Chains A and B, each alone.
Chain A
Amino acid sequence: MRDTQHRVFMVGWEYPPHNSGGLGVACEGLTQALAEANTQIFFTLPYRFPATVSHMQLIACQNPEEIEAVLRGSGPPLLSYSPGLSPSLNFATKDSLELATLPQSEIEQRVNYYADQVLQVGSQLRRKYDLIHAHDWMAFPAAMKLQEKVKKPFIAHVHSTEMDRIPSGHGSHYIAHTEYLGMQRAERVIAVSNFTKRILVSKYNIDPNKIDVVHNGVTPASRLSDEHLQFATERPMIVFMGRLTAQKGAEYFLQLAKAVIDRIPEALFVVAGHGDQYHSLLFQSAYQQLSASVLFTGFMRDHQREALLSRADVFVMPSLSEPFGLVALEAAQRQTPVIVSNNSGVKELLHHALKADFWDVGKMAGYIQDLIQNQDFRQQIVAGQNEDLKQATWDNAAGNVSKIYTKLLEKK
């Protein structure tokens, strides 16, 4: 425990249970561990938070009724209460991924509105914190405005970039530019992996000396009782879990299924998740006559998610570009051997997991066959992963972040 307490104003966008990607989960894990280590945190969100958290002070920086009116122009103030005119857009709970699918003008409106609200709150609280710590591009405009006003150091924390989400490189120029500006203006940049740091240096031209790498941790998993795992007992099961977007490489998972069932006909591949590729993947799977080899579960609730990760015989993450890849740690925690893409951050922590290029279907198929048919090999991988997991804690991550705080404040 340090004697000097850090006081941090964090700008967020999503927080469990309102999150679709890893960002909210990472914010939860990190703030909890920081609070344990005697850090005092204000955490802003662009919506009203339904539950209470005890480890920090959450601040709702957006009033859904108010933003409705702002975006609609000057409508009558009670319009949103009129029956039949229920808001078609749910402003309060857009997570970062939904946000990015909106038209650019609306993204800007939302992000700028949030920035103004954060600025207002942040200015009022200016005597109660020493640092601004912002999570991903949605929060950067707010942090920049506040930094300018209150003249306190700003840390830009990068959990993922537009270059990861849209691997073709044809992502949103506005979003990429916002990321760039935020990182330029920040005193320090935290990247969730060396993989991400390399992208920030090569694609965004950020000075490598300005970037610290802090790997995410994983919250210890509760074990499911065996009765919850009594399903699909008659087949080796290989699981993919993630959004069905180009970034996550589900198409390669289908190719992998095709390659593996040539050798192990009863192998069952499970695709868990939803996304814009969903329909196309179903058709591709059927077209390749994989209907009884690849099952799609669609969106899954927490319990089913855990059951699937626990029951899986192999977990595969064939992402084209994965800044971190928390779900691979969650699978490893449940004693499931993991194959991760070389283009991922999590491989820097999971030294003992198997690794392959996302396109190298032959190599991954060989690994799967070995893991299913060779128990010793399987045990060896799982034991190694368990070793790796000891380091993958939020306490470690919080320790590293605290050091960055300390260094930054000493400089002043």
Chain B
Amino acid sequence: MAKLCLYFQLHQPYRLRPFSVFELNRGLDYFALGSEQHDDNAAIFRKVAQKSYLPMLSLLLELVTIHPSFCFALSCSGVFLEQARAYQPEVIGLIQRLVDTDQVEILAESYYHSLASLYSPAEFAEQVKLHTALVEELFHFTPTVFRNTELIYANFIAEQVEQLGFAGMLTEAVDRYLGGRPRTQVFRSYTGKPLPLLLKHAQLSDDVAFRFSNKNWEEHPLTSEKYVHWLNNYYPEEYINLFMDFETFGEHQWEDTGIFEFFRHFVGRALHFDHHFVTPASVLEPLANHPKTLDSLPVYDVPDPISWADIDRDLTAWRGNSLQHDALRLVYSIEADVIKSGDRELLRDWRRVQTSDHFYYMCVKWSADGDVHKYFSPYDSPFEAYNRFSAVMVDLQDRVRLGKSK
């Protein structure tokens, strides 16, 4: 009998088209993957929608209808929502219906799924604002809890998020900062004015997200009986925070692995064993409004940024080598000029290249992490990703420079 807090991440980047010196200064669309006639970004989105977004959203809708006490949270990047609107509008419709049940919460994040929180507080704040505006427009819902790109978190990020007025944040539970304390309690940030925090239960989340269909895993096959049995070991006041990619259902784990059936039975069975589903806002908002209780929470002090990625749960997936460092330096080195230009297309393109995926593709870690990266990358190699990105940055720089001289 524990409290189960589920959150699923919906995100798709605008991947870059092949771009090299031969494409420079020709006014091409950087994000028409494949060609402008046949944009693979659209094709990829529709494929994932068929395999995952549409069936899983439909299943979730069915489950909230059957079980009035079942609730969960979704976080949708702005670039995801844009592409959904353009390529598969039913996805928006289904999310709308889920939100309308009042059993589904939408989380705040940066519109471009960017790393701006690490580089530019002003740009970060702007992207968060843009995202909230889009969520309000589409779903008539105002997010109150924040989750950063890839659950990236540090004290200085919590500071920024607190100043933006959010009631709390989600992030990863990293052992080197937990110091042996259970991850199933609510923590508070180590900031001037604290924010309440929910920390991901990596093991139980990844049992579903990564290991579900792994035949070499000793627990394979994972049944809802077994899974709920594990949950039964927790006390009623504990929060089990199951955070994962939405694409876990149908895309990372294909339909034939039984993932949908697993989830359907899991919800019924968890309720049967008296577990309570909660949403982040329902837990964190009351705390945020109660300074005394908030101050009594254990402190989660994270001086160096963490994330939910790879074995080390750090930032090396996005900035672990000089290719990534220099690419990121370039992006934020033109910030002031791009903003000043007042050129809306330039601003939009500059923000789209901030999406964290572009830097993830340049990762060259060769361990098991590399396999995951390879799975998620549309390019042949991290070097190809870097070459494309660099050429796009040259083109963006030229637009900035030529715009100024006009």
Contact = CB atoms under 8 A, between A and B. Distances in A.
Contacts of B402: 234
Residues of B in contact with A, size category:
20 to 34
Most chain A CB within a 10 A radius of its CB, from B26, B326, B402: B326
A231 B390 contact: no
Interface in B289-334: 321-323, 325-327, 329-330
B24 interface: yes
B394 A287 contact: no
A279 interface: yes
A315 to B, nearest CB: 14
Contact of A295 (B20, B384, B397): B20
A297 B25 CA distance: 16
A282 interface: yes
Contacts, number: 81
Contacts of B323: 282-283, 286, 291
A289 B322 CA distance: 9
Nearest to A269: B21
B383 interface: yes
B321 to A, nearest CB: 7
Contacts of B330: 291-292
Contact of A231 (B22, B321, B401): B22
Given A292-B393, A292-B397, A298-B387, A232 B21 contact: yes
Given A266-B401, A292-B397, A282 B386 contact: yes
Contacts of B20: 295, 297
A5 interface: no
B243 to A, nearest CB: 32
Interface in A203-230: 230
The binding surface of chain B is classed by DSSP as helix
B300 to A, nearest CB: 34
B23 interface: yes
Given A291-B393, A292-B393, A234 B24 contact: yes
A231 B326 contact: no
A257 to B, nearest CB: 13
A128 interface: no
Interface string B1-29: 00000000000000000001111111000
Interface of A: 230-235, 237, 266, 268, 270, 278-279, 282-283, 286-287, 289-292, 295-298, 304, 307-308
Of all A-B residue pairs in the complex, the 6 with the closest CB atoms, nearest first, are A232-B24, A286-B326, A286-B322, A287-B322, A291-B326, A234-B398
8 contacts: A232-B25, A235-B24, A235-B398, A282-B323, A286-B321, A295-B20, A296-B390, A297-B387
Given A233-B24, A278-B383, A283-B323, 18 more contacts: A234-B25, A235-B25, A235-B398, A268-B394, A270-B21, A282-B387, A283-B321, A287-B322, A289-B329, A290-B326, A291-B326, A292-B330, A292-B390, A295-B390, A297-B21, A297-B22, A298-B387, A308-B21
